[in-house]
Structure 1
Amino acid sequence: MLHNVAILCAMPEEAAPFLAAATEREEYPTPFANVEAEVVILDDREVTIVTTGIGLVAAATAATWVIGARGVEGIISAGTCGGLSRESRVGDVAISTDCTYGTADATEFGYERGQVPRQPVRFPASPRLVEAARPKAQLVGRILSGDTFVTARNVADMREAFPDAVATDMESCAIAQVCHATGVEFISIRGVSDLCGPEAGVDFHIGVDEAAAVSAAAVRALLAALG
Protein backbone atom coordinates (compact mmCIF):
# COMPACT_ATOMS: atom_id res chain seq x y z
CA MET A 1 0.00 0.00 0.00
CA LEU A 2 1.11 3.55 -0.72
CA HIS A 3 -0.09 5.71 2.17
CA ASN A 4 0.94 9.22 1.19
CA VAL A 5 0.68 10.05 -2.50
CA ALA A 6 1.00 13.22 -4.54
CA ILE A 7 -0.37 13.54 -8.06
CA LEU A 8 1.44 16.17 -10.10
CA CYS A 9 -0.17 17.76 -13.16
CA ALA A 10 1.26 20.56 -15.28
CA MET A 11 -2.01 22.32 -16.11
CA PRO A 12 -5.30 22.98 -14.32
CA GLU A 13 -7.12 21.05 -17.06
CA GLU A 14 -5.07 17.97 -16.16
CA ALA A 15 -5.79 18.29 -12.44
CA ALA A 16 -9.51 18.94 -13.00
CA PRO A 17 -10.67 15.28 -13.25
CA PHE A 18 -9.09 14.48 -9.89
CA LEU A 19 -10.54 17.53 -8.18
CA ALA A 20 -13.98 16.88 -9.66
CA ALA A 21 -13.96 13.34 -8.26
CA ALA A 22 -12.78 14.36 -4.79
CA THR A 23 -15.28 14.18 -1.94
CA GLU A 24 -13.33 16.62 0.24
CA ARG A 25 -10.98 19.42 -0.83
CA GLU A 26 -8.74 21.79 1.10
CA GLU A 27 -6.28 24.24 -0.39
CA TYR A 28 -2.70 23.75 0.76
CA PRO A 29 -0.49 26.84 0.62
CA THR A 30 2.64 26.75 -1.51
CA PRO A 31 5.59 29.16 -1.55
CA PHE A 32 5.39 29.59 -5.33
CA ALA A 33 3.27 32.01 -7.34
CA ASN A 34 2.44 29.52 -10.09
CA VAL A 35 2.08 26.29 -8.09
CA GLU A 36 -1.27 25.30 -6.59
CA ALA A 37 -1.94 22.41 -4.24
CA GLU A 38 -4.97 20.82 -2.63
CA VAL A 39 -5.25 17.98 -0.13
CA VAL A 40 -8.26 15.94 -1.16
CA ILE A 41 -10.10 12.74 -0.37
CA LEU A 42 -10.12 10.72 -3.58
CA ASP A 43 -11.79 7.29 -3.48
CA ASP A 44 -11.47 7.23 0.33
CA ARG A 45 -7.75 8.05 0.20
CA GLU A 46 -6.01 11.30 1.14
CA VAL A 47 -4.05 12.58 -1.85
CA THR A 48 -2.18 15.80 -2.54
CA ILE A 49 -2.96 17.25 -5.98
CA VAL A 50 -0.34 19.69 -7.24
CA THR A 51 -0.62 21.84 -10.35
CA THR A 52 3.02 22.53 -11.14
CA GLY A 53 3.07 24.65 -14.25
CA ILE A 54 4.51 23.48 -17.56
CA GLY A 55 8.12 22.41 -18.08
CA LEU A 56 11.04 20.64 -16.46
CA VAL A 57 12.02 23.32 -13.95
CA ALA A 58 8.45 23.92 -12.82
CA ALA A 59 7.90 20.19 -12.35
CA ALA A 60 11.16 19.61 -10.46
CA THR A 61 10.52 22.60 -8.20
CA ALA A 62 7.04 21.42 -7.28
CA ALA A 63 8.14 17.82 -6.78
CA THR A 64 10.96 18.84 -4.44
CA TRP A 65 8.59 21.07 -2.48
CA VAL A 66 5.78 18.52 -2.06
CA ILE A 67 8.18 15.80 -0.90
CA GLY A 68 9.47 18.09 1.83
CA ALA A 69 6.18 19.73 2.75
CA ARG A 70 3.96 16.65 2.70
CA GLY A 71 6.42 13.81 3.28
CA VAL A 72 4.99 11.88 0.36
CA GLU A 73 6.01 8.26 -0.27
CA GLY A 74 5.06 8.25 -3.93
CA ILE A 75 4.51 10.68 -6.79
CA ILE A 76 2.42 10.10 -9.90
CA SER A 77 3.04 12.33 -12.91
CA ALA A 78 -0.37 12.60 -14.57
CA GLY A 79 -1.93 14.43 -17.48
CA THR A 80 -1.35 14.43 -21.22
CA CYS A 81 1.45 13.38 -23.54
CA GLY A 82 2.39 12.96 -27.18
CA GLY A 83 2.42 9.46 -28.60
CA LEU A 84 5.89 8.65 -29.96
CA SER A 85 5.61 4.91 -30.57
CA ARG A 86 4.34 4.01 -34.04
CA GLU A 87 1.73 1.86 -32.28
CA SER A 88 0.37 4.76 -30.23
CA ARG A 89 -3.15 6.07 -30.74
CA VAL A 90 -4.87 9.12 -29.32
CA GLY A 91 -6.72 8.19 -26.15
CA ASP A 92 -4.17 5.54 -25.18
CA VAL A 93 -2.79 5.35 -21.65
CA ALA A 94 1.02 5.50 -21.54
CA ILE A 95 2.90 4.45 -18.41
CA SER A 96 6.61 4.83 -17.78
CA THR A 97 9.03 2.04 -17.05
CA ASP A 98 11.62 4.80 -16.93
CA CYS A 99 12.18 8.38 -18.07
CA THR A 100 14.94 10.11 -20.03
CA TYR A 101 15.63 13.67 -21.15
CA GLY A 102 14.91 13.48 -24.86
CA THR A 103 16.85 16.63 -25.72
CA ALA A 104 19.97 15.99 -23.61
CA ASP A 105 23.05 15.25 -25.71
CA ALA A 106 26.51 15.05 -24.12
CA THR A 107 27.67 12.21 -26.38
CA GLU A 108 30.73 14.28 -27.34
CA PHE A 109 31.98 13.67 -23.79
CA GLY A 110 31.25 9.95 -23.67
CA TYR A 111 27.74 10.02 -22.26
CA GLU A 112 24.74 8.28 -23.77
CA ARG A 113 22.11 10.18 -25.68
CA GLY A 114 19.57 11.53 -23.20
CA GLN A 115 21.97 11.35 -20.27
CA VAL A 116 22.77 14.46 -18.28
CA PRO A 117 26.45 14.38 -17.25
CA ARG A 118 27.01 12.62 -13.93
CA GLN A 119 23.40 11.47 -13.83
CA PRO A 120 21.93 8.04 -14.68
CA VAL A 121 21.09 7.25 -18.29
CA ARG A 122 17.47 6.82 -17.26
CA PHE A 123 15.39 7.31 -14.14
CA PRO A 124 13.32 4.20 -13.36
CA ALA A 125 9.71 4.05 -12.29
CA SER A 126 8.77 1.91 -9.31
CA PRO A 127 8.44 -1.68 -10.61
CA ARG A 128 5.49 -2.42 -8.34
CA LEU A 129 3.65 0.70 -9.52
CA VAL A 130 4.32 -0.23 -13.14
CA GLU A 131 2.88 -3.71 -12.63
CA ALA A 132 -0.15 -2.36 -10.79
CA ALA A 133 -0.80 0.21 -13.53
CA ARG A 134 -0.13 -2.11 -16.48
CA PRO A 135 -3.69 -3.53 -16.86
CA LYS A 136 -5.06 -0.10 -17.84
CA ALA A 137 -2.19 0.83 -20.17
CA GLN A 138 -1.90 0.47 -23.93
CA LEU A 139 1.68 1.79 -24.00
CA VAL A 140 4.35 0.71 -21.53
CA GLY A 141 7.93 1.90 -21.87
CA ARG A 142 10.23 4.86 -21.66
CA ILE A 143 8.80 8.38 -21.56
CA LEU A 144 10.96 11.19 -22.91
CA SER A 145 10.81 14.69 -21.47
CA GLY A 146 12.12 17.99 -22.74
CA ASP A 147 11.30 21.65 -23.25
CA THR A 148 10.74 21.25 -26.99
CA PHE A 149 7.96 19.47 -28.87
CA VAL A 150 8.64 16.40 -30.99
CA THR A 151 7.48 17.31 -34.49
CA ALA A 152 7.87 16.07 -38.05
CA ARG A 153 11.27 17.76 -38.08
CA ASN A 154 12.81 15.65 -35.31
CA VAL A 155 10.55 12.63 -34.78
CA ALA A 156 12.69 10.28 -36.89
CA ASP A 157 15.78 11.18 -34.87
CA MET A 158 13.95 10.65 -31.58
CA ARG A 159 12.63 7.25 -32.65
CA GLU A 160 16.08 6.16 -33.79
CA ALA A 161 17.83 7.40 -30.65
CA PHE A 162 15.20 6.04 -28.25
CA PRO A 163 13.58 2.99 -29.89
CA ASP A 164 11.91 1.89 -26.64
CA ALA A 165 10.28 5.27 -25.98
CA VAL A 166 6.48 5.30 -26.17
CA ALA A 167 5.58 8.91 -25.38
CA THR A 168 6.87 12.42 -24.75
CA ASP A 169 5.99 15.17 -22.30
CA MET A 170 7.58 18.18 -20.66
CA GLU A 171 7.66 17.17 -16.97
CA SER A 172 7.94 13.47 -16.11
CA CYS A 173 11.70 13.00 -16.29
CA ALA A 174 12.34 15.99 -14.04
CA ILE A 175 9.94 14.56 -11.47
CA ALA A 176 11.53 11.14 -11.84
CA GLN A 177 14.98 12.61 -11.21
CA VAL A 178 13.80 14.29 -8.00
CA CYS A 179 12.17 11.05 -6.83
CA HIS A 180 15.32 9.08 -7.66
CA ALA A 181 17.41 11.49 -5.58
CA THR A 182 15.05 11.38 -2.60
CA GLY A 183 14.04 7.70 -2.60
CA VAL A 184 10.38 8.40 -3.38
CA GLU A 185 8.43 5.96 -5.56
CA PHE A 186 7.53 7.31 -8.98
CA ILE A 187 5.47 6.55 -12.05
CA SER A 188 4.17 8.58 -14.97
CA ILE A 189 0.65 7.79 -16.20
CA ARG A 190 -0.36 9.92 -19.17
CA GLY A 191 -3.17 10.09 -21.71
CA VAL A 192 -2.08 10.45 -25.34
CA SER A 193 -3.62 13.66 -26.70
CA ASP A 194 -1.76 13.78 -30.01
CA LEU A 195 0.78 11.88 -32.09
CA CYS A 196 4.36 13.03 -32.66
CA GLY A 197 5.59 13.74 -36.15
CA PRO A 198 3.74 13.82 -39.47
CA GLU A 199 0.74 12.09 -37.89
CA ALA A 200 0.11 15.06 -35.60
CA GLY A 201 -2.82 16.48 -37.56
CA VAL A 202 -6.37 17.27 -36.56
CA ASP A 203 -7.46 13.71 -37.33
CA PHE A 204 -4.98 12.41 -34.75
CA HIS A 205 -5.70 14.76 -31.87
CA ILE A 206 -8.06 14.89 -28.90
CA GLY A 207 -8.64 17.67 -26.41
CA VAL A 208 -6.62 18.11 -23.24
CA ASP A 209 -9.74 17.49 -21.16
CA GLU A 210 -10.39 14.12 -22.80
CA ALA A 211 -6.79 12.93 -22.56
CA ALA A 212 -6.58 14.13 -18.95
CA ALA A 213 -9.70 12.13 -18.08
CA VAL A 214 -8.09 9.00 -19.54
CA SER A 215 -4.99 9.58 -17.42
CA ALA A 216 -7.04 10.24 -14.28
CA ALA A 217 -9.07 7.05 -14.70
CA ALA A 218 -5.87 5.00 -14.98
CA VAL A 219 -4.35 6.72 -11.93
CA ARG A 220 -7.45 6.01 -9.86
CA ALA A 221 -7.38 2.37 -10.98
CA LEU A 222 -3.75 2.14 -9.87
CA LEU A 223 -4.52 3.57 -6.43
CA ALA A 224 -7.45 1.16 -6.05
CA ALA A 225 -5.20 -1.77 -7.00
CA LEU A 226 -2.68 -0.76 -4.34
CA GLY A 227 -5.38 -0.91 -1.66
Structure 2
Amino acid sequence: MIAVDAVVVAAMADEAEAFAERADFVGPVAQVGHALHRVLSVESRGVLLVQCGIGLVSSATAAAVAISGTRPSVVISAGSAGGIGEQVRVGDVVVGTEFVYSGADARAFGYALGQVPGMPARFVADEALLEATLGVAHDGLTVRAGTMLSGDAFIDASLVTAVRASFPDALSTDMETAALAQTCHLYGVPFLSVRGISDLCGPAANDDFLTHVDDAAQRSASVVLAALHSIVPRG
Protein backbone atom coordinates (compact mmCIF):
# COMPACT_ATOMS: atom_id res chain seq x y z
CA MET A 1 0.00 0.00 0.00
CA ILE A 2 1.27 3.49 -0.82
CA ALA A 3 0.35 6.69 0.99
CA VAL A 4 -1.12 9.55 -1.05
CA ASP A 5 -3.25 12.54 -0.21
CA ALA A 6 -5.61 12.19 -3.17
CA VAL A 7 -6.53 9.94 -6.06
CA VAL A 8 -7.30 11.75 -9.32
CA VAL A 9 -9.08 9.65 -11.94
CA ALA A 10 -9.10 10.59 -15.62
CA ALA A 11 -10.37 8.45 -18.46
CA MET A 12 -8.01 9.36 -21.29
CA ALA A 13 -4.33 10.11 -21.81
CA ASP A 14 -4.92 13.78 -22.67
CA GLU A 15 -6.90 14.24 -19.46
CA ALA A 16 -4.27 12.57 -17.31
CA GLU A 17 -1.37 14.40 -18.94
CA ALA A 18 -2.84 17.75 -17.91
CA PHE A 19 -1.96 16.77 -14.33
CA ALA A 20 1.39 15.11 -15.01
CA GLU A 21 2.77 18.16 -16.80
CA ARG A 22 1.99 20.35 -13.77
CA ALA A 23 3.59 18.04 -11.22
CA ASP A 24 6.90 18.64 -9.46
CA PHE A 25 7.63 14.92 -9.62
CA VAL A 26 6.16 12.21 -11.83
CA GLY A 27 6.79 8.58 -11.01
CA PRO A 28 6.97 5.79 -13.58
CA VAL A 29 3.85 4.44 -15.21
CA ALA A 30 2.58 1.20 -13.69
CA GLN A 31 -0.20 -0.87 -15.25
CA VAL A 32 -2.60 -2.06 -12.57
CA GLY A 33 -5.24 -4.23 -14.17
CA HIS A 34 -6.53 -2.21 -17.10
CA ALA A 35 -5.56 1.17 -15.59
CA LEU A 36 -2.34 3.18 -15.69
CA HIS A 37 -1.03 4.56 -12.38
CA ARG A 38 1.47 7.35 -11.76
CA VAL A 39 2.43 8.83 -8.41
CA LEU A 40 2.78 12.61 -8.57
CA SER A 41 4.04 15.23 -6.17
CA VAL A 42 2.38 18.63 -6.53
CA GLU A 43 3.71 21.23 -4.10
CA SER A 44 4.40 18.52 -1.51
CA ARG A 45 1.01 16.84 -1.94
CA GLY A 46 1.01 13.21 -2.97
CA VAL A 47 -1.39 12.31 -5.78
CA LEU A 48 -2.07 8.96 -7.40
CA LEU A 49 -3.02 9.75 -10.99
CA VAL A 50 -5.16 6.97 -12.45
CA GLN A 51 -5.88 6.77 -16.17
CA CYS A 52 -8.86 4.44 -16.00
CA GLY A 53 -10.11 4.16 -19.58
CA ILE A 54 -13.50 5.26 -20.86
CA GLY A 55 -16.77 4.03 -19.40
CA LEU A 56 -18.64 3.21 -16.23
CA VAL A 57 -17.14 -0.20 -15.53
CA SER A 58 -13.57 0.83 -16.32
CA SER A 59 -13.79 3.84 -14.03
CA ALA A 60 -15.48 2.01 -11.15
CA THR A 61 -13.07 -0.91 -11.11
CA ALA A 62 -10.04 1.36 -11.39
CA ALA A 63 -11.29 3.51 -8.52
CA ALA A 64 -11.94 0.49 -6.31
CA VAL A 65 -8.41 -0.81 -6.87
CA ALA A 66 -6.88 2.62 -6.25
CA ILE A 67 -8.84 3.19 -3.05
CA SER A 68 -7.93 -0.24 -1.71
CA GLY A 69 -4.25 0.35 -2.44
CA THR A 70 -3.86 3.87 -1.08
CA ARG A 71 -6.61 4.75 1.42
CA PRO A 72 -6.79 8.31 0.04
CA SER A 73 -8.35 11.29 1.79
CA VAL A 74 -10.25 12.21 -1.38
CA VAL A 75 -11.03 10.93 -4.87
CA ILE A 76 -11.50 13.44 -7.67
CA SER A 77 -12.86 12.76 -11.15
CA ALA A 78 -11.31 15.03 -13.76
CA GLY A 79 -11.30 15.57 -17.50
CA SER A 80 -13.83 16.58 -20.13
CA ALA A 81 -17.61 16.46 -20.44
CA GLY A 82 -20.41 17.47 -22.75
CA GLY A 83 -22.47 20.47 -21.74
CA ILE A 84 -26.25 20.09 -21.64
CA GLY A 85 -27.32 22.92 -19.32
CA GLU A 86 -28.95 25.90 -21.04
CA GLN A 87 -26.28 28.35 -19.87
CA VAL A 88 -23.27 26.04 -20.22
CA ARG A 89 -20.71 26.90 -22.89
CA VAL A 90 -17.61 25.26 -24.33
CA GLY A 91 -14.71 26.35 -22.13
CA ASP A 92 -16.71 26.37 -18.91
CA VAL A 93 -15.81 24.13 -15.99
CA VAL A 94 -18.55 22.22 -14.18
CA VAL A 95 -18.10 21.20 -10.56
CA GLY A 96 -20.56 18.47 -9.65
CA THR A 97 -22.93 18.81 -6.73
CA GLU A 98 -24.95 15.66 -7.51
CA PHE A 99 -24.22 12.68 -9.75
CA VAL A 100 -26.83 10.61 -11.59
CA TYR A 101 -26.86 7.75 -14.08
CA SER A 102 -28.62 8.91 -17.24
CA GLY A 103 -29.34 5.34 -18.31
CA ALA A 104 -30.62 3.82 -15.06
CA ASP A 105 -34.38 3.28 -14.99
CA ALA A 106 -36.01 1.10 -12.34
CA ARG A 107 -39.15 3.24 -12.02
CA ALA A 108 -41.24 0.10 -12.45
CA PHE A 109 -40.17 -0.80 -8.91
CA GLY A 110 -40.67 2.64 -7.42
CA TYR A 111 -37.18 4.06 -7.85
CA ALA A 112 -36.41 7.51 -9.22
CA LEU A 113 -35.21 7.89 -12.79
CA GLY A 114 -31.43 7.55 -12.71
CA GLN A 115 -31.41 5.63 -9.43
CA VAL A 116 -29.71 2.25 -9.12
CA PRO A 117 -31.78 -0.05 -6.88
CA GLY A 118 -30.34 -0.10 -3.39
CA MET A 119 -28.38 3.11 -3.95
CA PRO A 120 -29.31 6.76 -3.23
CA ALA A 121 -31.44 8.52 -5.83
CA ARG A 122 -28.45 10.79 -6.40
CA PHE A 123 -24.89 10.63 -5.18
CA VAL A 124 -23.68 13.90 -3.68
CA ALA A 125 -20.34 15.67 -3.65
CA ASP A 126 -18.47 15.95 -0.40
CA GLU A 127 -19.50 19.28 1.09
CA ALA A 128 -16.02 20.30 2.24
CA LEU A 129 -14.48 19.46 -1.14
CA LEU A 130 -17.21 21.35 -2.94
CA GLU A 131 -16.81 24.41 -0.74
CA ALA A 132 -13.03 24.41 -1.15
CA THR A 133 -13.25 24.05 -4.92
CA LEU A 134 -15.77 26.82 -5.40
CA GLY A 135 -14.00 29.07 -2.90
CA VAL A 136 -10.62 29.41 -4.63
CA ALA A 137 -9.68 31.75 -7.48
CA HIS A 138 -9.95 30.25 -10.96
CA ASP A 139 -8.02 32.76 -13.11
CA GLY A 140 -10.94 33.98 -15.17
CA LEU A 141 -12.50 30.59 -15.82
CA THR A 142 -16.27 30.26 -15.75
CA VAL A 143 -16.99 27.66 -13.08
CA ARG A 144 -20.54 26.35 -12.65
CA ALA A 145 -21.84 24.04 -9.94
CA GLY A 146 -24.65 21.58 -10.55
CA THR A 147 -25.81 18.10 -11.46
CA MET A 148 -23.64 15.81 -13.58
CA LEU A 149 -24.96 12.86 -15.58
CA SER A 150 -23.07 9.75 -16.65
CA GLY A 151 -23.96 6.89 -18.96
CA ASP A 152 -22.68 4.42 -21.50
CA ALA A 153 -23.54 6.62 -24.48
CA PHE A 154 -21.72 9.64 -25.90
CA ILE A 155 -24.52 12.20 -25.97
CA ASP A 156 -24.95 13.97 -29.31
CA ALA A 157 -27.82 15.67 -31.12
CA SER A 158 -29.70 12.40 -31.56
CA LEU A 159 -29.91 11.84 -27.78
CA VAL A 160 -29.62 15.20 -26.07
CA THR A 161 -33.26 16.31 -26.28
CA ALA A 162 -34.49 13.25 -24.40
CA VAL A 163 -31.71 13.53 -21.82
CA ARG A 164 -32.49 17.19 -21.16
CA ALA A 165 -36.19 16.41 -20.79
CA SER A 166 -35.48 13.62 -18.30
CA PHE A 167 -32.91 15.58 -16.28
CA PRO A 168 -33.69 19.29 -16.70
CA ASP A 169 -31.34 20.38 -13.91
CA ALA A 170 -28.26 18.65 -15.33
CA LEU A 171 -25.31 20.74 -16.51
CA SER A 172 -23.03 18.10 -18.02
CA THR A 173 -22.72 14.51 -19.14
CA ASP A 174 -19.80 12.10 -19.30
CA MET A 175 -19.13 8.37 -19.16
CA GLU A 176 -17.44 7.92 -15.76
CA THR A 177 -18.43 10.31 -12.96
CA ALA A 178 -21.55 8.63 -11.54
CA ALA A 179 -19.79 5.26 -11.39
CA LEU A 180 -16.88 6.86 -9.55
CA ALA A 181 -19.32 8.55 -7.18
CA GLN A 182 -21.02 5.22 -6.46
CA THR A 183 -17.68 3.53 -5.81
CA CYS A 184 -16.66 6.26 -3.37
CA HIS A 185 -20.07 6.03 -1.69
CA LEU A 186 -19.54 2.31 -1.16
CA TYR A 187 -16.02 2.80 0.20
CA GLY A 188 -16.87 5.85 2.30
CA VAL A 189 -14.35 8.13 0.57
CA PRO A 190 -15.09 11.84 -0.05
CA PHE A 191 -15.68 12.47 -3.76
CA LEU A 192 -15.77 15.37 -6.17
CA SER A 193 -15.90 15.72 -9.95
CA VAL A 194 -14.52 18.64 -11.96
CA ARG A 195 -15.02 18.56 -15.72
CA GLY A 196 -14.11 20.97 -18.50
CA ILE A 197 -16.77 21.35 -21.19
CA SER A 198 -15.52 20.19 -24.59
CA ASP A 199 -18.77 20.17 -26.58
CA LEU A 200 -22.47 20.95 -26.28
CA CYS A 201 -23.91 17.58 -27.34
CA GLY A 202 -25.08 19.02 -30.66
CA PRO A 203 -24.79 17.97 -34.33
CA ALA A 204 -21.00 18.50 -34.30
CA ALA A 205 -20.42 17.09 -30.82
CA ASN A 206 -17.88 14.50 -31.93
CA ASP A 207 -15.82 17.05 -33.88
CA ASP A 208 -16.10 19.64 -31.11
CA PHE A 209 -14.97 17.08 -28.57
CA LEU A 210 -11.86 16.20 -30.56
CA THR A 211 -11.07 19.89 -31.05
CA HIS A 212 -11.54 20.98 -27.45
CA VAL A 213 -10.73 17.94 -25.30
CA ASP A 214 -7.17 19.13 -24.60
CA ASP A 215 -8.34 22.59 -23.51
CA ALA A 216 -11.13 21.10 -21.42
CA ALA A 217 -8.67 18.80 -19.68
CA GLN A 218 -6.33 21.71 -18.93
CA ARG A 219 -9.15 23.74 -17.38
CA SER A 220 -10.29 20.80 -15.28
CA ALA A 221 -6.76 20.23 -14.02
CA SER A 222 -6.31 23.91 -13.15
CA VAL A 223 -9.41 23.92 -10.98
CA VAL A 224 -8.64 20.58 -9.33
CA LEU A 225 -5.08 21.54 -8.41
CA ALA A 226 -6.15 24.92 -7.06
CA ALA A 227 -8.71 23.15 -4.89
CA LEU A 228 -6.22 20.50 -3.79
CA HIS A 229 -4.05 23.20 -2.25
CA SER A 230 -6.98 24.16 -0.02
CA ILE A 231 -8.13 20.62 0.73
CA VAL A 232 -4.79 19.03 1.59
CA PRO A 233 -2.33 20.81 3.94
CA ARG A 234 1.20 21.16 2.62
CA GLY A 235 3.36 18.25 3.75
1:78–1:215: 8 Å Cα contact kept in structure 2? yes
CA deviation after TM superposition for structure 1 residue 143, in Å: 0.5
Match of 2:147 in 1: 142
Partner Cα separation in structure 1 for residue 54 and residue 207 of structure 2: 23
Q: Which amino acid aligns with 1:75?
A: V
CA deviation after TM superposition for structure 1 residue 112, in Å: 0.9
Match of 2:177 in 1: 172
2:199–2:208: 8 Å Cα contact kept in structure 1? no
Partner Cα separation in structure 1 for residue 201 and residue 181 of structure 2: 22
Matched, 1:189 2:194: yes
Matched, 1:159 2:160: no
Q: Secondary structure at the match of 2:28?
A: strand
Give the alignment's Cα RMSD to 1 decimal.
Answer: 1.9
Matched, 1:17 2:18: yes
Given the superposition, is the C-alpha separation of residues 161 and 150 from structure 1 closer, same or farther in structure 2, using an over 3 Å criterion?
same
Partner Cα separation in structure 2 for residue 181 and residue 194 of structure 1: 31
CA deviation after TM superposition for structure 1 residue 31, in Å: 3.4
Partner Cα separation in structure 1 for residue 80 and residue 6 of structure 2: 19
Partner Cα separation in structure 2 for residue 209 and residue 53 of structure 1: 16
Q: Secondary structure at the match of 2:14?
A: helix
CA deviation after TM superposition for structure 1 residue 131, in Å: 1.3
Given the alignment, which residue of 202, 216, 220 partners 1:215? 220
Q: Which stretches in structure 1 are left out of the alignment for 5+ residues? A: none
CA deviation after TM superposition for structure 1 residue 199, in Å: 7.1
CA deviation after TM superposition for structure 1 residue 154, in Å: 2.3
CA deviation after TM superposition for structure 1 residue 123, in Å: 0.7
Given the superposition, is the C-alpha separation of residues 203 and 169 from structure 1 closer, same or farther in structure 2, using an over 3 Å criterion?
closer
Q: Which amino acid aligns with 2:9?
A: L
Q: Which stretches in structure 2 are left out of the alignment for 5+ residues? A: none
Partner Cα separation in structure 2 for residue 170 and residue 183 of structure 1: 22
1:97-136 mapped onto 2 (5 Å cutoff): 97-135=97-135, 136=138
1:90–1:206: 8 Å Cα contact kept in structure 2? no
Given the superposition, is the C-alpha separation of residues 15 and 201 from structure 1 closer, same or farther in structure 2, using an over 3 Å criterion?
closer
Greater displacement, 21-30 / 158-167:
21-30
The CA deviation string for residues 160-180 of structure 1, in whole angstroms up to 9 with x for no partner, is 221211100000100100101
1:195–1:205: 8 Å Cα contact kept in structure 2? no
The CA deviation string for residues 15-58 of structure 1, in whole angstroms up to 9 with x for no partner, is 111111111122364431x3110111112211110100100000
Aligned residues: 224
CA deviation after TM superposition for structure 1 residue 108, in Å: 1.9
Q: Secondary structure at the match of 2:27?
A: strand
TM-score (norm 1): 0.92
Q: Which amino acid aligns with 2:196?
A: G
Given the superposition, is the C-alpha separation of residues 150 and 204 from structure 1 closer, same or farther in structure 2, using an over 3 Å criterion?
closer
Q: Secondary structure at the match of 1:89?
A: coil
Given the superposition, is the C-alpha separation of residues 110 and 134 from structure 1 closer, same or farther in structure 2, using an over 3 Å criterion?
same
Partner Cα separation in structure 1 for residue 32 and residue 78 of structure 2: 22
Partner Cα separation in structure 2 for residue 210 and residue 150 of structure 1: 19
Q: Which amino acid aligns with 1:186?
A: F
Q: Secondary structure at the match of 1:22?
A: coil
Partner Cα separation in structure 2 for residue 19 and residue 50 of structure 1: 11
2:93–2:144: 8 Å Cα contact kept in structure 1? yes
Given the superposition, is the C-alpha separation of residues 90 and 120 from structure 1 closer, same or farther in structure 2, using an over 3 Å criterion?
same
2:99–2:178: 8 Å Cα contact kept in structure 1? yes
